[in-house]
């Protein structure tokens, strides 16, 4: 068994596991941890717990200490510089005529590393830009290209439902979304209606897909002959959420009935 603690660095960001190193920690505590980018401040979202060692898929780095007021102040000082970094960095990109746009700038806790995220349609040769950035900001620079979904998560916005994007509020990781999910929910296959601000299929297609599958199993398939209080009929549609069935009677009239009132002729 191994003790781990779950820490998140951004709202709705991925939860990373660290070795609590014997430090007493509670959910909500701010801590300083050792990462591949140097020391960073994160928030405890999963209290220390014991897990089977084989379940740990990545080497555990240690929690260095609980964050002090000085750590949090230093973190805010570097965050205050990020807007200026973005502006100056974009000016360099414009001078170099590179097809890319800076999206975010993030310093680690001690300022020894600066991560710049950018968006671009394809591959970009930014070697000369990297040298200029390093000389200007006098720290180690990492340029990271973002995909469409990561870009939307970073910038935020509102979905067609009128609510803030799921990826910026609570989705910590992206799950696969397929066109089949839209078909199973009988949604119009119009890209404008089932695509998010990122241009990809909306993540919420996966939220209710399993529920739709389970509910549709309780309903007779289209084309099946059934008996109803109004006589025999054939199924022409269904509404899984309402648990109703559309049937065509022998009189050619189409009516909507509760699923409980529709029985297959075999039954």
**DSSP string covering 169-215:** HT--SPPP--HHHHHHTT----HHHHB-TTSSBPGGGGTSHHHHHHH
Distance CA 189, CA 183 (A): 7
Q: What residues have CB less than 8 Å from 196, skipping those under 6 apart?
A: 152, 159, 165, 202, 203
| Residue 21 DSSP SS3 | coil
CATH architecture of the domain with range 220-264: Roll (2.30)
Regarding beta strands 140-145 and 113-119, do their DSSP bridges make them parallel or antiparallel, or are they unpaired?
parallel
Chain segment 197-240, per-residue pLDDT in tens: 999 999 999 988 888 888 888 888 889 999 999 999 999 988 88
May I ask the CATH class of domain 73-146? alpha beta
Angle value at C-alpha 35, between 34 and 39, nearest 5 degrees: 55
**Mean pLDDT of the chain, nearest integer:** 91
Chain segment 152-207, per-residue pLDDT in tens: 998 899 998 899 999 999 888 888 999 999 998 888 899 988 999 999 999 999 98
Contact between 33 and 18 under an 8 Å Cβ cutoff? The reply is yes
Chain segment 70-107, per-residue pLDDT in tens: 999 999 999 999 999 999 999 999 999 999 999 999 99
What's the N-to-C CA distance of the chain in angstroms?
Answer: 54
Give whole-number Cα distances, 28 to 6, 182, 231, in Å: 11, 38, 62
Calculated CA dihedral for residues 241, 169, 27, 61, nearest 10 degrees: 110
Which residue ranges does the chain devote to CATH 2.30.30.140? 220-264
266 band by pLDDT with thresholds 50, 70 and 90 = low
Sign of the CA dihedral running 136, 140, 145, 146: negative
Q: In what order do the strands lie in the sheet with 15-18?
A: 15-18, 2-8, 38-51, 30-35, 63-66
């Amino acid at each position: 068994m191994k003790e781990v603690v779950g820490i998140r660095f951004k709202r709705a960001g991925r939860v990373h596991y660290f070795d609590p190193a014997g430090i007493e920690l509670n959910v909500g505590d701010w801590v300083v941890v050792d990462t591949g980018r140097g020391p960073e401040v994160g928030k405890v979202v999963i209290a220390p717990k014991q897990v089977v060692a084989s379940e740990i898929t990545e080497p555990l780095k240690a929690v260095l200490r609980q964050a002090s007021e000085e750590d949090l102040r230093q973190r805010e000082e570097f965050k205050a510089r990020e807007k200026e970094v973005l502006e100056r960095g974009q000016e360099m990109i414009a001078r170099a005529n590179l097809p890319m746009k800076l999206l975010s700038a993030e310093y680690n806790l001690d300022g020894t590393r600066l991560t710049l995220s950018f968006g671009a349609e394809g591959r970009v040769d930014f070697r000369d830009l990297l040298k200029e950035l390093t000389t200007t900001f006098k720290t180690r620079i990492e340029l990271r290209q973002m995909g469409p979904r990561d870009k939307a998560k970073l910038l935020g916005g509102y979905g067609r439902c009128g609510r803030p994007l799921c990826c910026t509020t609570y989705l910590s990781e992206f799950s696969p979304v397929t066109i089949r999910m839209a078909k199973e929910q009988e949604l119009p296959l119009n890209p404008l209606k089932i695509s998010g601000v990122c241009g990809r299929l909306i993540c919420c297609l996966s939220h209710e897909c399993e529920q739709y599958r389970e509910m549709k199993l309780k309903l007779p398939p289209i084309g099946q002959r059934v008996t109803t209080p109004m006589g025999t009929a054939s199924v022409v549609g269904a509404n899984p959420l309402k648990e109703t069935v559309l049937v065509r009677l022998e009189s050619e009239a189409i009516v909507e009935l509760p699923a409980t009132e529709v029985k297959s002729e075999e039954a």
